Amino acid sequence: MKASGNKAAGRLAKAPHEVRIIGGQWKRTRLTVVDAPGLRPTPARVRETLFNWLGQDLSGWRCLDAFAGTGALGLEAASRGAAEVVLVEHDNVLLTLLRRMKDQLKADAVKVERGDAVAALRQRAGQNLDVVFLDPPFADGGNEALFASALAAARQSIGPQGFIYLEAPRPWTTDELSRMGLEMHRQGRAGAVAFHLLRTLPGQ
Q: Span 4-20, mean pLDDT?
A: 50
Output the DSSP codes for 54-65: H-S--TT-EEEE
What is the reported pLDDT for 186? 97
The Cα–Cα gap between 111 and 98 comes to: 9
For residue range 132-169, list pLDDT tens digits in order: 999 998 875 558 899 999 999 999 999 999 999 999 99
- The total domain count for the chain is 1
What is the reported pLDDT for 142? 57
Residue 80 CA from chain centroid, whole number: 15
CATH of the domain at 38: 3.40.50.150
pLDDT band at 17 (very low <50, low <70, confident <90, very high): confident
Residues 24, 30, 32, 37, CA torsion sign: positive
Strand partners, 42: none
For residue range 84-125, list pLDDT tens digits in order: 999 999 999 999 999 999 999 999 999 999 999 999 999 999
What is the reported pLDDT for 140? 59
The Cα–Cα gap between 173 and 108 comes to: 38
End-to-end CA distance of the chain: 36
The Cα–Cα gap between 94 and 57 comes to: 27
Q: Span 5-12, mean pLDDT?
A: 40
- Select from 17, 47, 48 the least CA-distant residue to 34: 17
Parent domain of 138: 5-200
What is the reported pLDDT for 141? 55
Size of the chain, expressed as the number of residues it contains: 204
pLDDT at 5 over 50: no
Give the helix/strand (H/E) hosting 98.
Answer: helix 92-105
